[in-house]
Amino acid sequence: MLHFITIGSGVPSMGIFGNAANDEKSDLETGSAAPIRDIELRPVPACAPVSARIWLGIVASVAAIGLVLGSSIATKAQAEVKLLNVSYDPTREFYREFNEVFSAFWVAQGNPAPVIETSHGGSGSQARAVVDGLKAQVLTLALSGDIDRAAKAGLLPEDWQSKLPHNSSPYTSTIVFLVREGNPKGLKDWGDLVNEGVQVITPNPKTSGGARWNYLAAWAFAEKNGLDPKDFVGKLYKNVPVLDSAARGSTTTFAQRGIGDVLLAWENEAYLGLKELGDDQFDIVVPSISVLAEPPVAIVEKNIESDEQRKVAEAYLNYLYTPESQALALKHFYHAWDTSAAAPEDVARFPKLELVDIASFGGWAKVQPEHFGDGGIFDQIYVAK
Amino acid sequence: MIQRSPMPGLGLSMGITMAMLSLVVLLPIGALLLKGASYGLAGVWETVNRERVWAALYLSFRLSLFAAIFNLIFGLLLAWVLVRYRFPGRRILDAAVDLPFALPTAVAGIALTALYAPNGAFGALAADIGWKIAYTQSGIFLALVFVGLPFMTRTVQPVIEEIDAEVEEASATLGASRVHTLRHVILPMLMPAALTGFALSLARAVGEYGSVIFIAGNIPLVTEIAPLLIVIQLEEFNYDAAAAIGIAMLLISFAMLLVINLIQIWSRRRIGYV
């Protein structure tokens, strides 16, 4: 507050308001310098000078705030091409490395070095941030439903997913179990997770894209095994003691805080957990059935400000499909399409399991409102007994 | 005939005050109410009148009230100790009271969770006697006490400094017991400031999100606070419902602060000063 006022008092003398402000300022000076003479000589209505000064105060404060906000905008204008990639939670490590590789490639092509920034968080919240005005040029989210939201808001064309190969998904992943070393509870498949006394850690599917895949994988298991899926998923979530808002939060809860017997995790997040935290603490369990998660990528047409920016954005996404990048995705525990440049152990790592894709659930446009919308099937799990 | 206020600068400062207040306080709240108005009273009620929303509101306000009461007692005690006694490390302790003001709430939440999780330093001790702290309502309470404490202590501290020891001595020489002095001399003087601190601490706790979110388990109906419910509605692009819950919180907070103010007026009348 003090900060604003300090700036505000200097504003009129800076001449921003032109004559009007200066007039008022001189009025102010005579008023405060010689109040007694004022009373004798100037028979103006009592409230006039006071109200004029109230207005001066209002104008000065608004200008002060405008000045502060304006200066922050002014510093943003820069010459180099900037790219903001808004991504979901477990891609941090991959994009950190990919950005370096891409920048090197782009400069080698004879272009000026681009400034690439990435932002990570729950896929749903990231999509909302972009819809609410975060100026992302590239979206790399956990599910196409989240990019659809941005498309519905008019930020990119509705047919965005047909622009790039493989449903615009340069890499795919699936959901596996991360259990404590030696699997003390003997958890082998989805059916074991609803047992009495098993604690399952998964994020809230309302806010996390990965959690929606977790939920759907359990649903697919129930359907395939002739169980009532709604009842099965309900039982599963009754075993969840902590509902974090994003995938990374759940990993922390499970790995650092020691809560729960099993973490439903992105496959890449699970392998990363093993690598970072030591494979003597956790084991990966692959269930009989899981989902084929296709995290898609897209350019946000509405937020492209110049031709150079478009060129970089397009090259950025296309580069994801080159053998080098595909190898990089495999190195970061994603499944990729092109294994020609990849290290053999990165390819051989993944076990074979039955995968169901989102189309078999009827697509996100159907799944999202039915399961995760307000009052949807997920909400119905949490009603008081 | 002009009657100017003897205080100079009234007009200018009034204008600045009005503009600032409008821009930073009234405008956002007005926008919230406007959003609610466009949604309609029936819509607001329909959103709020759901089991899960009531559970979250009840949880938020109940735990905030408990935390504020806890802070009322221990914040007062802390302020008393800091002002009245001289002991080594007093200044460091005094400075530490402000830390919850300065610390980003997320940092506080993560630190508290790390300490009170079943594998944390204190959490392990509590787990031995079968008491879970993190990811339960106890954890939420703890976080709310943490963020609210300085409001209480810092509000009553200057008032305690103003009370001369002679007042107590006079009371004692007139034959009053220690309890009597405390009850009839000291506490009435502290009452208005303590109520203000209580109200601030309560208001802070009700709106707290950052620290609670890490230590609460966020399980619907059990450990889901009302601000989280607002965020979840936003994630669903359900801005109307988010505004509706926001308005409900605003109204309840307003009613609570009003009651506290009324108590303050009442106590002022009864005691006759401050």
Between A114 and A16, residue with greater pLDDT: A114
How much is the average pLDDT of A87-102?
Answer: 92
Mean pLDDT of B238-244: 90
Residue contact A60–B241, C-beta within 8 A:
no
pLDDT at A66: 81
Please name the residues between 200 and 239 in chain B that touch chain A, using a CB distance below 8 Å. 213, 217-221, 231-238
% residues pLDDT > 70 (chain A): 84
With a cut of 0.90, is the ipTM above it? Answer: no
From the list B9, B135, B234, the residue facing A128 with the nearest CB is B234
| Mean pLDDT to the nearest integer, A138-146 | 91
Q: Which residues of A touch B114 (CB under 8 A)?
A: 256-257
Q: B1: which chain A residues are within 8 Å (Cβ-Cβ)?
A: 39, 43, 46
Q: Is the pLDDT of residue A44 over 70?
A: no
Q: How confident is the model at residue A50 (pLDDT cuts 50, 70, 90)?
A: low
**CA of A65, closest CA in chain B: separation in Å?**
9
Q: Which residue of A has its CA nearest to B117?
A: A257
User: Which site among B2, B26, B238 would you substitute to test the A interface, given the most A Cβ atoms closer than 10 Å to its Cβ?
Assistant: B2
**B positions 39-68 inside 8 Å of A (CB):** 51-52, 55
Residues of B in Cβ contact (< 8 Å) with A5: 16
For an interface test with B, the pick among A374, A377, A383, A385 (most B C-beta atoms closer than 10 Å) comes out as: A374
**A&B contacts, CB < 8 Å:** 131
CB contact (8 A) between residue A125 and residue B235: yes
Q: What is the pLDDT of residues B196-223, one digit of tens each?
A: 999 999 999 999 998 999 898 888 888 9
- Give the residue-averaged pLDDT of A154-169: 93
- Asked whether residue A14 carries a pLDDT value surpassing 60, the answer given is no
Contact between A243 and B218 using a beta-carbon 8 Å cutoff: yes
Look at A351 and B42; give whichever has higher pLDDT: B42
Amino acid A376 reads G
Q: Is residue A363 within 8 Å of A348, Cβ to Cβ?
A: no
Residue B267 CB coordination number (10 Å): 16
**For range A168-174, the mean pLDDT:** 93
Token couple for A383: 């009603």
Percent with pLDDT over 70 in chain B? 96
Residue from B14, B16, B239 to probe the interface with A (highest A Cβ count within 10 Å) = B16
Q: What is the DSSP string of A283-348?
A: EEE--SEEE-B---EEE-GGG--SHHHHHHHHHHHHHTTSHHHHHHHHHTT-EES--TTS-HHHHH
Give the nearest partner residue to B236 out of A46, A373, A384, using CB atoms.
A373
Helix/strand/coil (H/E/C) assignment for every residue in B18-49: HHHHHHHHHHHHHHHHHHHHHHCHHHHHHHHC
pLDDT score recorded for residue A49: 65
| Best residue in B3, B17, B20 for a mutation probing chain A (most A CBs within 10 Å) | B20
Determine contact, residues A303/A135, Cβ cutoff 8 Å.
yes
pLDDT confidence of residue A314 = 94
- Determine the average pLDDT of the residues in A351-355: 84
- Note whether B12 contacts A28, CB cutoff 8 Å: yes
**pTM (predicted TM-score):** 0.76
Q: Which residue of B has its CA nearest to A62?
A: B19
Give chain B positions within 8 Å (CB) of A40: none
Q: Which residues contact A40 (CB under 8 A, 6 or more apart)?
A: none
CB contact under 8 A, B14 and A243: no
Choose the closest CB to A39 out of B4, B16, B51. B4
- Whether residue B8 is predicted with pLDDT greater than 70 in this model: the reply is yes
pLDDT at A344: 85
Q: What percentage of chain B reaches a pLDDT higher than 90?
A: 50
Mean pLDDT of B22-44: 89
Tell me which of A206-210, A234-238, B56-60, B103-107 is least confident: A206-210
pLDDT band, residue A4 (cuts 50/70/90)? very low
The larger pLDDT score, comparing residue A32 to residue B194, is at: B194
Most confident listed range (A4-8, A67-71, A146-150) = A146-150
Would you list the DSSP string of B65-106?
A: HHHHHHHHHHHHHHHHHHHH---TTHHHHHHHTTHHHHS-HH
pLDDT exceeds 60 at position A183: yes
pLDDT in tens, B218-235: 888 889 999 999 988 887
pLDDT at A13: 37
Average pLDDT, rounded, for chain A: 83
Report the pLDDT value the prediction gives residue A8, as an integer from 0 to 100.
Answer: 35
Query: Tens digits of per-residue pLDDT, B154-164?
Result: 999 999 999 88
For chain B, the farthest-separated pair of C-alpha atoms sits apart, in whole angstroms, at: 80
Considering only CB atoms, B51 lies closest to which of A46, A60, A384, namely A384
Residue ranges in A110-260 assigned as alpha helix (H): 123-131, 144-152, 165-168, 209-224, 229-238, 247-255
Chain centroid offset of residue B90 CA:
25
Determine which helix (DSSP H) or strand (DSSP E) holds A197, and give its type and residue range.
none
Pick from A44, A56, A379: CB nearest B15: A56
Whether A243 sits inside 8 A of B118 (CB atoms) is no
Contacts of B218 in chain A (CB under 8 A): 204, 242-245
- Residue of chain A minimizing CA distance to B14: A54
What is the pLDDT at residue A232?
Answer: 95
- Asked if pLDDT for residue B2 goes beyond 80, the answer is no
Tokens of B237: 């692009």
What is the model's pLDDT at position B234? 83
Q: Which of A56-65, A115-124, A175-184, A369-378 has the lowest mean pLDDT?
A: A56-65
The residue-averaged pLDDT of B169-183 equals 88
> Which positions in chain A touch B126 (Cβ < 8 Å)?
none
Q: How much is the average pLDDT of B96-118?
A: 90
Residues A291-314 have a mean pLDDT of 92
The pLDDT of residue A15: 36
What residues in B contact A124, CB-CB < 8 Å? 235
Minimal CA separation from A8 to chain B, in Å: 9
For the segment A153-169, the average pLDDT, to the nearest whole number, is 92
* Mean pLDDT of all residues in A89-93: 87
Q: What is the pLDDT of residue A125?
A: 84
Looking at A29-38, A39-48, A357-366, which range is the least confident one?
A29-38
- pLDDT band for position A24 (50/70/90)? very low
Name the residue in chain B with its Cα closest to that of A66: B23
Q: Quick one: pLDDT at residue A20?
A: 39
pLDDT bracket for residue B112 (50, 70, 90): very high
Cβ pair B156, B193 in contact under 8 A: yes
Q: Which among B88, B115, B80, B57 is positioned nearest to B251, based on CA atoms? A: B57
Instruction: Give the model's pLDDT for residue B189.
Output: 87
pLDDT at A25: 40
What's the whole-number average pLDDT of chain B? 89
